Structure 1
């Protein structure tokens, strides 16, 4: 389905007016990015990650289901380019805000995974230099 261009269409639905449509699109994307090939394709478009992070803004109650959006981002952290794009995005602070505000531990797990990987990258740089 990723090769057929469905992911781009689901990304468009993340901004739909209907909450149900946004939730279904987020759920579908969450399942699709579990496949490594789809994950790589999703990460290639910088707009995709930026949009997901924008939708996670805790002050914006208009997003799709945050659980699925965080699930998508968690899947993307297993891909080096995905992790780098999440961390370097101007909207990465939304994950931190959400982790502070939300009772849910999913956002906290995502922050931990992103910071742990940054720490490992720094250590690998030290060991290999």
Structure 2
């Protein structure tokens, strides 16, 4: 298992600062329809766990995007801040929010909802590929 990393970042206008105590150093891509609508393409994200501090919470707006998750964004610049699971308060955050030094060992590991990925792009990286059905089956088996 990879060692957790600490991250700091901000939204585009710097109204929201983010401190993450224990992120997994794995970058994943989500191709689901919701992520495509949210950001105009796949979400490249990092699992930041539950130890996340958002400084300047009054700048954060939250959208209740499903029965199990909500999405946060900066109400000033519109930056996407997080996808958060309601039950566990686990944050999945766009990797672009963070300055990750080249010396930090992170890698692109998994693509999910590949059955919803449009045909007009492909990533060259060799990653684990999971359909939506496989994602939900894996999630349900952990409960």
TM-score by length of 2: 0.23
TM-score by length of 1: 0.24
